[in-house]
Amino acid sequence: MMNPSIAEEGGQTARTVIGAMQSQPLAIALILINIMFLGGVGYLITDIAHTIGLRNLKQDEFWQGIARDCMSFERQVGPPPGYKPPEPKP
């Protein structure tokens, strides 16, 4: 007697699963709901990551603008009164 091949075992398992699903329509519905839930969670995570990325870009632009404005103001006005630059160390 020969052992069944992997393809025959897989086919038998698939037939058993399909037969069980035909007698249990709620099991099919549960599988579909789980797949939809996983897809929705994946979409939500992707959307959150995209939103965070946009927020980070806007914050970077904001702080770069603040730094640029401060530097240009300092160049126009000069250093504050009484400011002494640090002496270089030998």
64 contacts: CB under 8 Å, gap ≥ 6: none
Q: Which residue has the higher pLDDT, 70 or 40?
A: 40
Q: How many CB atoms lie within 10 A of CB 21?
A: 13
Contact 27, 20 (CB under 8 A): yes
Residue-wise pLDDT tens digits, 23-59: 888 888 888 899 999 999 999 999 999 999 999 999 9
What are the structural domain ranges in the chain? 9-76
Contact 21, 28 (CB under 8 A): yes
pLDDT of residue 7: 83
Q: Which helix (H) or strand (E) holds 28?
A: helix 25-77
pTM for the predicted model, two decimal places: 0.51
Q: Is 38 helix (H, G, I), strand (E, B) or coil?
A: helix
